[in-house]
């Protein structure tokens, strides 16, 4: 793509680095911004910069947060003895949208995937194991996507905490194998949390 302006070219190239956006879409966005009042671009770039500079991760669950402890962890009305283990922040949003879960979360930051070079040490597993061993948790719910990587991650954590006496369950598989939680509809996801099954039963059947 040839541009008559280096400035346009630079903006297009930056935007085109975002996932799911090709150069054509990037150009459309840039031209759109040019038609808008200048402040619009200013608000957009300020919002992005501020988000990047000031975002925090909850000390307790690693969810994104504006404070050191996220709103979910800080909420006394939530059941702090029930912890739902998820891959990333999108899963927290998906489960929160169901309105069916009153416990708290633990965000791993991914799943074990040797192909992608992600090992257990890159994930927030130790803080989860520590929480369980401190004895404040009654139930751990595994809510990872039902892929091989998800199963591997569940099983890795299971082995670390199996002797701690904590109840372990997994979300019911109304969600098809290989599906990402994010794409499950709210009703299905909500049900799969309510009708969760004991974790050991889930993998012994396989
Ligand atoms: Zn939190």
Would you give per-residue pLDDT tens digits along the chain (206 residues)? 778 899 999 999 999 999 999 999 999 999 999 999 999 999 999 999 999 999 999 999 999 999 999 999 999 999 999 999 999 999 999 999 989 899 999 999 999 998 889 999 899 999 999 999 998 899 999 999 888 899 999 999 999 999 998 999 998 765 554 566 666 677 778 878 888 888 887 766 55
19: containing domain: 6-54
Q: How many CB atoms lie within 10 A of CB 140?
A: 25
Give domain status of residue 168, yes or no. Answer: yes
Count of domains in the chain?
A: 2
| Secondary structure (DSSP) of 127-181 | HHHHHHHTT--SEEEE---SSHHHHHHHHHHHHHHGGGT-EEEE--TTSPTT--G
State whether 188 and 156 are in the same domain: yes
Claim: this prediction has a pTM higher than 0.75: yes
Question: Contact at 8 Å (CB) between 126 and 120?
Answer: no
State whether 85 and 42 are in the same domain: no
Give domain status of residue 68, yes or no. Answer: no
Give domain status of residue 1, yes or no. Answer: no
Give domain status of residue 61, yes or no. Answer: no
Give domain status of residue 100, yes or no. Answer: yes
Q: How many CB atoms lie within 10 A of CB 4?
A: 6
Give domain status of residue 65, yes or no. Answer: no
Residue 32 Cα to ligand 1 middle (Å): 37
State whether 82 and 175 are in the same domain: yes
Residue 149 Cα to ligand 1 middle (Å): 24
State whether 102 and 180 are in the same domain: yes
Protein residues with C-beta less than 5 angstroms from the ion ligand 1: 58, 60-61, 63, 70, 73
Give domain status of residue 151, yes or no. Answer: yes
Q: How far apart are CA 167 and CA 169, in angstroms?
A: 7
State whether 100 and 191 are in the same domain: yes
Give domain status of residue 72, yes or no. Answer: no
State whether 82 and 167 are in the same domain: yes
C-alpha of 191 from chain center: 19
Residue 203 Cα to ligand 1 middle (Å): 29
């Amino acid at each position: 793509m040839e541009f008559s302006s280096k400035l346009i070219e630079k903006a297009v190239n930056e935007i085109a680095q975002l996932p799911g956006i090709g150069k054509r879409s990037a150009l459309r966005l840039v031209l759109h911004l040019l038609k808008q009042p200048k402040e619009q671009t200013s608000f957009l770039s300020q919002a992005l910069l501020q988000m990047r500079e000031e975002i925090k991760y909850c000390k307790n669950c690693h969810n994104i947060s504006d404070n050191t402890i996220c709103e979910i962890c800080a909420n006394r009305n939530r059941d702090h003895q029930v912890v739902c283990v998820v891959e990333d922040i999108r899963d927290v949003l998906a489960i929160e949208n169901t309105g069916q879960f009153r416990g708290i979360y633990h965000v791993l930051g991914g799943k074990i995937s040797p192909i992608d070079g992600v090992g257990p040490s890159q994930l927030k597993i130790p803080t989860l194991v520590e929480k369980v061993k401190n004895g404040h948790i009654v139930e751990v719910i595994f809510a990872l996507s039902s892929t091989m990587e998800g199963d591997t991650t569940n099983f890795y954590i299971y082995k670390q905490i199996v002797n701690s006496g904590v109840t372990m369950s997994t979300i019911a598989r109304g969600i098809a194998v290989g599906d990402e939680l994010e794409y499950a509809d709210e009703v299905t996801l909500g049900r799969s949390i309510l009708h969760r099954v004991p974790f050991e039963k889930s993998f012994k059947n396989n």
